[in-house]
Structure 1
Amino acid sequence: MKAKLPTRTLGNGFTVSALGFGAMGLTAGFYGAGPPPEQAEKVLACARELGVTYVNTATIYGNGDNEKLLGRAISEQGWDKAGSPHMAIGSKFGVRYKNGQLQPATSLTEATEDLHASLARLGRKQIDAYIFRGPVRPEDDAGWETFWHGMGILVTDGLIKHLGLSEVTPNHIRRAHAVFPVTLLEYEWSLFSRELERDVLPVAEELGIGITAYSPLGRGLLSGTLSKDHKWGKGDFRSMAQPRMQGENFKK
């Protein structure tokens, strides 16, 4: 690592580079086929050289292949080598592929199974941040505190260093934090997406919880690399599930 970025301390002591790296596009899935593995590994090496110390992924990215990619980088690029700056990894959980479709996986049993699978793919004994991806379903609401208590036990057991939440309501943030500390929140936040400033940000400030923003460049719209005539690649979810990326909305 040649460069050094400013750092931020999230919540109760999770210190990472101010600029993190979202790995979703490095494997097949939401953005289409993804780059060849060797190119993806070079991207990760470049991020590390530039001083990034936090990479974000999810159990469903590439149906596990994304975490496997990071596991190879940890092993082959010496991320865990003694004396090297620690590369923190945060992974989201709460959904699974079932019969080819994304389905909720919100029981403590499923969360624990997915955690062990994540650790195996990463080749680590502890994950820096494990982040529940909401929303919390109505049928799970009554057991929310019990579920979060169980997640806290996994922290106490040393399998998770910090817990996070993504795309849940302020009410669920408060209720979880009252049971076991929430270190970070992960929400979409950019000039296009500022909804969290109304209700989530005040809660985070009140409770001392850090925020990590995903899609800070508006899913590419603010990157300066897209023209109104841009053609989306096959399987790119932006052309199918993002209204602002479609038709006349995109051209505007």
Structure 2
Amino acid sequence: MNTRKLGQVGLEVSAIGLGTMMMPDNEESVRTIRGALDLGVTLFDTADIYGEWEQQRFGSNERLVGRALKGRRHDAVIATKFGITHTGGPKGDPAYIKKSVDASLLYLGVDYIDLYYQHRVDPDTPIEVTVGTMAELVKEGKVRYIGLSEANPEQIRRANAVHPITALETEYSLWSREVEDKILPVVKELGIGFVPYSPLGRGFLTGQIKSFDDLPPDDYRRYYPRFQGDNFIKNLELVSMIEQLAVQKGCAPSQLALAWLLAQGENIVPIPGTKRLDRVQENLGALEVSLSREELAEIERISPKGAAAGGRFPSQA
């Protein structure tokens, strides 16, 4: 397994990680996580809010990850997050952080968290206060490294001035390239690792979704602008061109999309999410896909910044 370093203080992980957000709490998910570890994946990404959202229960996905990695904890790098609440917006005050980290340690069944992210920046708590509290967790041994998610350039700079930020997690893929203008230059300048979530466009870039009806009735993606109406049709055309290029390259569309991401910088470690081990194997095949300068230029022609139709989230129609 190829490895990459996140940040400047020594966190080394597999070049492709595994996002566990959409995994149901069942034995297939356990087998997928353990199988990924057997294949060389070391970075496993979860959050306290993932899992039983409708029941407003925290920690269900963390419990799954902890159960799957039990007995092999030291082979894995566990990343989790705090800060998104069911009501009331993001939180990052010291009392909330201390309560959250203890809960996550309990849910995961571990003595420390390798990489602890603030899931969303709290507008009511100065980020210096939030990161200062996270730095205390590092001193206490509860956390090894700290990160941010979906933070803006100013917030990243202010946070990094308090304590080294190891990684920034933000959406990035062939159809979500907003980070290229301001975010990626800042993390590169500061020596911060970049962890793209939804690196396969919430599954669209795999080529497996051909119509809106391919999405299950309860699938959250039905509410996302890029999967609706004319946006869906336009984005399907984009994916079709990516598929054609993948056929010429002799790889899967998902592998082409991940290889493109990996080629954007040595500090980039995508975390595609999947419930199935065969998909993990397919995604790892991206590590064998080398893109030439000409091929990168062709991908740029097919999918330049702003190519995707519709906003990233339901509130961005």
Structure 2 length-normalised TM? 0.69
Of 127, 132, 146 in structure 2, the residue corresponding to residue 149 of structure 1 is 132
Contact 2:80–2:116 (CA under 8 A) maintained in structure 1: yes
SS in 1 for 2:75: coil
Partner of 2:298: none
Distance 1:202 1:103 in 2: 28
Deviation at 1:182, TM superposition (A): 0.3
Instruction: Confirm or deny that 1:79 pairs with 2:88.
Output: no
**Pair 1:91–1:122, CA change in 2 (3 A):** same
Contact 1:186–1:212 (CA under 8 A) maintained in structure 2: yes
Equivalent position amino acid for 1:43 in 2:
T
Of 56, 65, 69 in structure 2, the residue corresponding to residue 70 of structure 1 is 65
> Stretches of 4+ moved more than 4 A in 1?
none
Partner of 2:18: 21
**Could you report, residue by residue, the CA deviation over 1:43-86 in whole angstroms, capped at 9, with x for unpaired residues?**
112211211000001110013110000111122xx313xxxx62
State the aligned residue count.
Answer: 227
Deviation at 1:102, TM superposition (A): 6.7
Equivalent position amino acid for 1:192 in 2:
W
Partner of 1:61: 50
Contact 1:244–1:250 (CA under 8 A) maintained in structure 2: yes
Percent identity over paired residues: 42
User: Where does 1:44-193 land on structure 2 (aligned, <5 Å)?
Assistant: 44-62=33-51, 63-75=58-70, 78-80=71-73, 86-97=75-86, 101=87, 103-137=89-123, 139-140=124-125, 143-193=126-176
Deviation at 1:105, TM superposition (A): 2.5
Equivalent position amino acid for 1:187 in 2:
T
SS in 1 for 2:117: strand
Partner of 2:306: none
Deviation at 1:229, TM superposition (A): 4.5
Q: Which has the higher contact order (CA 8 A, sep 6+)?
A: 2
Deviation at 1:197, TM superposition (A): 0.9
Distance 2:218 2:83 in 1: 23
**Pair 1:151–1:232, CA change in 2 (3 A):** same
SS in 2 for 1:181: coil
Distance 1:127 1:7 in 2: 20
Partner of 1:33: none
Equivalent position amino acid for 1:13 in 2:
G
SS in 2 for 1:103: coil
Equivalent position amino acid for 1:134 in 2:
R
Deviation at 1:90, TM superposition (A): 0.4
Partner of 2:208: 225
Structure 2 unpaired stretches of 5+: 52-57, 235-317
SS in 2 for 1:39: helix
SS in 1 for 2:205: coil
Higher strand share: 1
SS in 1 for 2:66: helix
Instruction: Confirm or deny that 1:211 pairs with 2:200.
Output: no
Higher helix share: 2
Contact 1:95–1:106 (CA under 8 A) maintained in structure 2: no
Partner of 1:30: none
Structure 1 length-normalised TM? 0.86
Contact 2:82–2:100 (CA under 8 A) maintained in structure 1: yes
